[in-house]
Chains A and B, each alone.
Chain A
Amino acid sequence: MLDQQIEIINKLGLHARAAAKLVSTANRFESRVEIEFGGQKADAKSIMAVMMLAASKGSLVTLTTDGHDEQDAMDAVCALINNYFEEEE
């Protein structure tokens, strides 16, 4: 199991579109992917759970991946977040 803290840096935070991208990315892997913020833990493969976190710009979230492809999953999700969810700012 891997975990890592990461800051949400895109302008709108984990809004619908970013949440959708996060979930699509997590869904590519078999590992369990979770995202924790404000004492709440969400299944990163559930778009609604991710949106309910309401993590805005500047939020520090903890990612957890668990499974045989946990490293790849962690790398892909981190890359997405650090890449501003490929949004036009």
Chain B
Amino acid sequence: MLSLFGSGIGRGIAIGPAYVLKNSDIETTRITIHAKDINAEVKRFRKAVFETEEKYKALLKNLSKDAPKESAAFINAHLLMLKDPLLVDESIKIIQKELVNAEYALQSQADNLIAVFEKMEDNYLREKRSDVQHITNRILRNLMGIVSHSLDEYNDEDLSGKVIVGRDLSPAETMFVRDRKVVAFVTDLGSQISHTAIVARSMKLPAVVGLHGSSKYISDNDLLVVDGLRGIILINPSDSVLKEYKKRARKIREREKKLTTLIRKASKTEDGERIQLMANIETAKELREVNRVNAAGIGLYRTEYLFMNRNKAPTEKEQFQAYKRIVTNVEKPVVIRTLDIGGDKQLEFNYPNKSSSESPLGLRAVRLCLNHVDLFKPQLRAILRASAYGKVSIMIPMVSNFDEINQVLTIIKQTKTELKQKNIPFDSRIKIGGMIEVPAAAIMAEIFAQKLDFLSIGTNDLIQYTLAIDRVDDAVNYLYDPIHPAVLQLIRHVIRAGEKANIPVSLCGEMAGNVRYTRLLLGLGLKQFSMDATYLLNVKERVIAADTSRFRYLMGKIMNAENPTQARDYLGKLNEL
């Protein structure tokens, strides 16, 4: 038995066989063949193409009914490329003329085609080179008999009960495991706030991330115990250890059951402060949990996921239907955040400035939207239209200066006028808020509060920017500290700015769902928390037991701590109070 330590996500324990992701680069070598073997080689090649085709067809057939229309079109286009004479016939010609193996012939013809696409002026067509390589890899895998575990739309393996092990999971990859009944994630890279972690939480799965070398030590089908609470994984544990863990897993389930008794209780501190506990969601799938735990509403609806894994932006109509579905299903306030892409969240389709937006300091979120109004406006229209069906608010991510707010407000005003002219219903008094995640915005909160209807503190980015830590770079992860005095002072400043302007302030970063910080945030005066619904009852338990009138002394100590160790000590005392 081997045990490895990383950063744990989730409270649960999962036990299951490993499914190790391999995004193998396929290397082809040139092998000369005899003239008499040409026919056999061509036959081998045709067979591989045929098998690939069969796989695509099966995929098309098994496509779930609610899969986006794009998926079928995408597979169809790939099927056509697979049968394309430019790929197939030309490769065969190379086999025949140059007397080379099929793998080499195919890759060289693919390279020829890629070279042509690379020179194309049109961004969109230029991207087709990756489709060519994708298809080539598919055929090569069949030719070479390579078993590849990759998480994409072509993966039709049974993943139920498996623990996914990989270097890191991209947002696109995590999309493909959502409905596959996997039980846990283990990744080499990542941290508490990286994408894998967030997805694991929303799927209610335990995960251990930042576990360097995991894919080196773990082989396919090794039995793994993943302990999200402690950040430990055990590889092929002994029977007695396995038994112990099964017992613990059972206890955790029992605790979950106990928490359900809190569902109908009022969300109020012991000293009578009403606290609103809201949920963060990405898709309608999470609404079940949101409704189950009786959240006060949706404090953060991340709309990026509507835009991901597709080769075109969703239309206004499609967005409207998605937003309406959420609004009518929740029947409580819903805060819809406009597109927050760039940085570690990238879209597949091309849009202006796509290449410059990889940095967390780059052209992302509202900056990108304002530079690309044709992506922004249909979304605003869709949100406004959905506001006719419930209590909807608009939240603008990453605002950093006053002009941005003014520009957004102007565009919203224009959009409203257009809708009015066309007699399309919407809530004319829709609330518009800003997400405070850039230190400049936190410092300016009092000014921003005059223009906006509410503020929401996004701590994941606020911490990253305040402490200058790239949150996808796990080499500096150790410096990531939510209770750094600078961070706490900014949070307090924003909460006070909201009180002064008499507008609500919520907090929607990972901090909101971590029970270690519940009392601290209450002590800072926070009244609205928004978190993954799976954490809501745990936080509620802490809220109900909190007497904020007794926090003052320790809060002062934490805010004025000289170093992180001291701050943590006082936080520990606050949590034991």
Which A residues form the contact surface with B (CB < 8 A)?
Answer: 12, 15-17, 19-20, 23-24, 43, 45-49, 51-52, 54, 56, 88
Contacts and interface: CB of A to CB of B under 8 A. Distances in A.
Contacts of B444: none
Contacts of A54: 120-122, 125
Interface in B336-380: none
A19 B84 CA distance: 12
Interface in B109-155: 113, 116-117, 120-122, 124-125, 128, 131-132
Contacts of B85: 43, 45-46
A48 B131 CA distance: 10
Interface stretch (B18-26, B73-81, B214-222, B560-568): B73-81
A50 B77 CA distance: 12
B81 A48 contact: yes
B84 A16 contact: no
Contacts of A24: 76, 80
A32 to B, nearest CB: 12
B77 A17 contact: yes
A24 B76 CA distance: 10
Nearest to B312: A17
Contacts of A15: 124-125
Contact of B84 (A12, A47, A88): A47
B508 to A, nearest CB: 35
15 contacts: A20-B73, A20-B77, A23-B80, A43-B86, A47-B80, A47-B81, A47-B84, A48-B128, A51-B117, A51-B125, A51-B128, A52-B116, A52-B125, A56-B122, A88-B315
A48 B113 contact: yes
Contacts of A47: 77, 80-81, 84
B87 interface: yes
A12 B311 CA distance: 13
Give the top 5 A-B pairs by smallest Cβ distance, nearest first. Answer: A47-B80, A20-B77, A48-B86, A46-B86, A46-B84
Given A24-B80, A46-B86, A48-B81, A17 B73 contact: yes
Of B76, B132, B315, most A-chain CB atoms within 10 Å: B76
Contacts of B120: 52, 54
A20 B80 contact: yes
Contacts of B81: 47-48
Nearest to B116: A52
Contact of B132 (A19, A46, A48): A48
Contacts of B80: 20, 23-24, 47
Contacts of B124: 12, 15-16
Interface string B66-98: 000000010011001100111100000000000
Contact of B87 (A12, A17, A48, A88): A48
Interface in B36-91: 73, 76-77, 80-81, 84-87
Of A19, A20, A24, A51, most B-chain CB atoms within 10 Å: A51
Contacts of A23: 80
A46 B80 CA distance: 8
Contact of A16 (B77, B116, B315): B77
Given A23-B80, A45-B85, A16 B121 contact: no
A33 to B, nearest CB: 12
A20 B131 CA distance: 13
Contacts of B122: 54, 56
A46 B86 CA distance: 7
A52 B77 contact: no
Contacts of A12: 124
Nearest to B126: A54
Nearest to A20: B77
B349 to A, nearest CB: 11
Contacts of B121: 54
A12 to B, nearest CB: 8
Contacts of A19: 77
Nearest to B79: A20
A77 B501 CA distance: 63
B109 to A, nearest CB: 11
Nearest to B131: A16
Given A47-B77, A52-B120, A16 B128 contact: yes
Nearest to B315: A88
A16 B87 CA distance: 16
Given A20-B77, A88-B315, A48 B125 contact: no
Nearest to B121: A54
Contacts of A49: 84, 86
A52 B113 CA distance: 9
Given A51-B117, A54-B122, 9 more contacts: A15-B125, A16-B125, A17-B77, A20-B73, A20-B77, A24-B80, A48-B132, A51-B125, A54-B125
Nearest to A43: B85
B311 A48 contact: no
A2 B121 CA distance: 31
Nearest to A88: B315
Nearest to A12: B124
Contacts of A16: 77, 124-125, 128, 131, 311
